[in-house]
Structure 1
Amino acid sequence: MAAQTDKAFRESVINSDLSIADGMPLIWMSRLLKIPLPERVAGSDMIEALFADKCEPPIRVYFFGGEPGVGEQACQVINQADAGLYAVGHYCPGFGSIEEMSTREIIDEINRHEIDFLIVALGAKKGQAWIEKNRHRLKAPAISHLGAVINFFAGTVKRAPVWMQRVGLEWFWRILEEPALWKRYFSDGLRFAKLLLGNVIPYAVWIRFIQKKLNEINPVVINIEEDDHRIKIYLIGACIDKTIGALKPVFKECVTKRKNILIDLQSVPIIDGAFLGLCLLLYKHLNQQGYQINFQNINQQNIRIFKWNSARFLIPQF
């Protein structure tokens, strides 16, 4: 929900190498939209699986953030177990600004440990912003904001029973454990209802109405023009999940040329979320290089699909 209104947070999600579906509403929406997400994977599920998988040597984790003393407790619990994780350290930066948490001394303190997995717990927006600011300075190959994980390991917060997780009530359990969370969940719930009514349900109805066209299997035709400053890609045909296989290597090759990219959709009658997901990957890699992706000649139906998928920011000119 934060990504809907906060550009910096949205960019941090797009820039991530892995985004897991942490939330049952995401799974319910995916089923409604015929997107193949088989199950929820919470960040804590991922860490619990790594903890339970006894590997040699164990994965070296470091905790950055959390309440005072919680990181130390989490490290003790992990290191007392013969498990797949080994805690190499922790740091509690307090409640300062991102700048105050990003000093050379702090980054050096983190980097002096041989970390495999850096777990950040600063609050979602702040944690993502801290990671974005410092990722190029951090030596850990894997970095993730997993706010509740440090509390689960320390035992200061108990995780919801499995049955509550499966039916989508973990949020209710979290409020019982941490009452201050109710404001966040209430606010997110209202915004989610607006997203559901304004974007998800209209898109789901449209998918069922247009299902015949979405079953098309003719691959999209790709024509490319290139000059010293820009690559122009002309697409012909439906750009949907079943037809865009050939686009992936083309986009990958275009990224290596380090130029702005313009995609012409004049001869594209229909797109879907899979195509937009591919465009977001292209957007991510171009952004990291300092280049841009732009679109032209989009029909009204496809503009609506950009909107329904919360990807209108890709086409600000329309």
Structure 2
Amino acid sequence: MNNDPVRILAHRIAQPGTVVTWLNHWSIQHADWRALAQVTCIGIDGTLLQLLLRRAGWDVGRTSADLVLPVFFREVLAPGSAVALIGAAPGVAETAATRIDAHRVRAWDGFGQLQQLRRDPEELRAFAPDVIVLGLGAGLQDEVAVELHREFPTAVICTAGGWIDQFSRKEQYFPAWIHRFRLGWAWRILHEPRRLLRRYTLDALTSLREHRTYVAALRRIGATPGPTCLEVSRPA
């Protein structure tokens, strides 16, 4: 594994009962802090938030679901494990599921099927997932993650934001050089300017102004810096 934070975290989250999520400079502004207090670890997805945490003395390696999860499925998770993909528009998660060929995969969309699972998780219980991946919106996916952790306490639960949608199209949405030069923000603005321009301009300025507030909130939920994620001391 060397010092690659992606592979280290892919192995780190393999322990049954782990709940892992990611934050960036935008999602931390919309965080469900009650839910975050109940996860196991919080990865840092985004150079800006990584730098802001470094100013507070928290030197955490940058990772992201789109980098960690393919490694986790390919190199870490035991073949034939049961993987539930939950999120994205109808039909998208089913397409993404076809790209994971070493495991048993079932998919539910992030709309009506998600609502049904939250009302009654019996269908998911019958599948008996070893891993649950949630590709939902910021805040909501953390709320659902802790709900499902109560129902499936030994499953590995990962939030993934837009990864399910991206993965349904290709294994790596970003070219390798984009990650190497930390240009994911520019790539996303180029491809989704109307939705994301504000996120990487005005919202970035907000995170610069309010970063001490976010660090204080992370401390309140018991987060402490580790080499690849913020470790959270969950209540017993």
Which TM-score applies when normalising by structure 2?
Answer: 0.69
Unmatched tracts of structure 1, length 5 or more: 204-272, 290-318
CA drift of 1:53 comes to: 0.9
Q: Corresponding residue for 2:99? A: 77
1:138 is displaced (CA, Å) by: 3.3
Letter in 1 for 2:73: F
By how many angstroms is 1:166 displaced?
A: 3.3
- Residue aligning to 1:192: 204
* Pair 1:167-2:181 in alignment: yes
Which residue does the alignment assign to 2:68?
Answer: 46
1:148-159 alignment runs, 5 A limit: 148-155=162-169, 159=173
Query: What is the CA distance between 1:35 and its match in structure 2?
Result: 2.3
Deviation track 1:159-218 (CA, whole Å, cap 9, x = no partner) reads 222222233321232344445532xx5146423313324555xx9xxxxxxxxxxxxxxx
94, 101, 126: which one aligns with 2:111 = 94
3-state DSSP of counterpart to 1:196 = helix
**Distance in 1 of aligned mates of 2:85 and 2:186:** 26
- In percent, how many aligned pairs have the same letter? 20
The more displaced of 116-125 and 152-161 is 152-161
Q: What residue number does 1:281 align with? A: 222
Structure 2: tracts of 5 or more residues without a match: 1-25, 224-231
Match of 2:226 in 1: none
Structure with bigger RCO (C-alpha 8 Å, 6+ apart): 2
Aligned mates of 1:68, 1:114 — CA distance in 2 = 22
* Count of residues paired in the alignment: 202
Larger-Rg structure: 1
- The 3 A distance-change label for structure 1 pair 75 and 100 is closer
- Aligned pair partner of 1:103 in 109, 119, 138: 119
Shift of 1:150: 1.5
| CA displacement at 1:31 relative to structure 2 | 3.5
Q: TM-score, normalised by structure 1?
A: 0.53
Q: Secondary structure at the match of 1:120?
A: strand
SS state at 2:42 partner: coil
Q: CA RMSD in A?
A: 3.4
Which of the numbers 89, 98, 114 marks the counterpart of 2:128?
Answer: 114
Q: Deviations over 1:58-82 (max 9, x none)?
A: 4431101212211221121212xxx
Describe how 1:4-23 pairs up with structure 2 within 5 A: 4=29, 9-23=32-46
Report the more deviating stretch, 143-152 or 112-121: 143-152
- Residue type matched to 1:77 in 2? R
